[in-house]
Structure 1
């Protein structure tokens, strides 16, 4: 009697196992010649004697039998080598040296020659040029910032693939990758920024950033979700903005963007900056790649970035003059960056585009503020000139700019124009948008 009940119970439990649902998705057979299994799903291949030529690529396997693995190209990040600094010792002025400086190694000297900055230019502005080289090399910059004490932040030490499906790589940086991911339970899209953990990594700084950003509640700022530390990499999970960044959008269209759309975009950026500045936060490195767009025309700032310094693998086009000259970042420095984004929206590329980064930084200090085409309206030209006042102590404040006639006229009318602009994109253009790489 007991054995019969036990068998019935076992039979009942087996009937509840969803493993048999696999039969609906795959058919595994053994090759009569090689005796290897064929038709094996990729998720199982490493665990079975499978023929690698006949592995099945499928996302339809039942959750209970699926192996949650990270994309293979995560290994590229794990094996990546971070850029080493070039300046081996303190730079000093030496008028007898070829470039008026000592403390340069061969590599950084080559970079200077490639930049096209002449010896005379260096001699005429040596102190600022030293500052440029230090920033180019990755020196940490001073900035006025109010941080609360770091709250109890712990990274999740587990495989993020157990919770998220890694759908596709949407961007590749120098030392990181960006993935579109899907929450398995919520069926909701997110973005994972993946970069390598190394022995000199400042975990305190990252935790400090997370402790701040996790409490942000602003519709104009990308929402942070959580952070994993797994398999030698950090995985920062954030809100997914499905139309990509503003830089990609600008590069996609050959024609000039209508001023009403530009005014709307700039106003949304300023709303995000207004929130940040009100709580004592500076963006620090605002540029068009940190401005994200979704399909309904929402504009949001991406501010999650644990690095304070400008590395030489970054684009210097948006750096404010005071950052290069005095190595400081103020709230008003964000206004200069806003002006460069406005210039870019007008002219399609930032000033000094395609020039060597060292030359770009030299020009930012020594050349007059850039101006947009005279074909643009007078109020738009005036708005940009007020943003790009080189003396940061005289530069127009965010509060004044939000009352500027150019913004007043366009802030409420440009969203529909942006949506219509995006709707006109055909499938080929969308594909280009997703696959387009970084600025250069």
Structure 2
């Protein structure tokens, strides 16, 4: 798993009762799908900055560029729009407008400690110099350590100083995606969460997350990561494609409704985020939305999105166990796709591995989640919920085989045999 920005732990590809709906939501088999779904730049003197074509430029004065970045960061911290826009050239107009929209979005966020730091000159082309910048910031009340984000800015000399004329994306160097780079933002604060994004569902998502926190805290208990305070940040961009970008690497979410990701920080384990794909999430019904958000909140509580040791079937199965706990949905309904396979005599030989949860590569994504969920449900049914939590903790410290022996007194082979027998009886 990429520790700089984890690819995320997806909350299931939304399954539907018909194959054509699998891109809508991987939850319809459980009855979780909604019905029918398918100002001008100013120089230091206050005069409008002039845009001059200028000759080819050499390396910039590092101190001058650092000063521009410091002024820009101070403008964000001081909420001074005029000072921020004074760092941006008057042309091209489209980039200037995008920077103005970005600043307006930043005003809506509880930012703390905004910093922009010159790292290196990437290239010099024409009349501009492309510079790599490290951005650092925290969301007050949620992030313990500043996030570290890579950005690329083009600088050019104008009227005796340096100004920003563009970004790296137009030169083949895209920045780390951020929620404020899209359309106009709204930030909704719940009791425990901060939901940032675009669209009508933000307040609803904040309410559902508030309701999920007590249930997640009760079950995860000792499995929760140290320092988790029942807080969560959810990002809801305007499109599923933007959600894929926020998830890292412009991922094709393949119908995934939501996933937990980890953004790199200056220190500590990283900052958890829940990214919601608005199109897919919007096609879930009330029950489906509750299950999805509770599942993702479980990943946040247990550090599942940054866990490279615990078996993936246990990470995903435990999150589903918490998500489905107490919900009015039967096992045959929730595991409809797997039930069809078992009824046809195709019983899985073993527990699903990491590739089985890859939305792009797996042809059985829904069944993989169902297999993992039923493995955890079996543990809770036969050995007790406390044993399931103990196994989750133990598997994060030692091998899967050692954890199974320590907590359940079973070898991996015996555990797999019990699980396959459980599938036969629950899905008959």
Task: State the TM-score, normalized to the length of structure 2.
Answer: 0.26
* Higher RCO (CA 8 Å, separation ≥ 6 residues): 2
Higher strand share: 2
- Greater Rg over alpha carbons, structure: 1
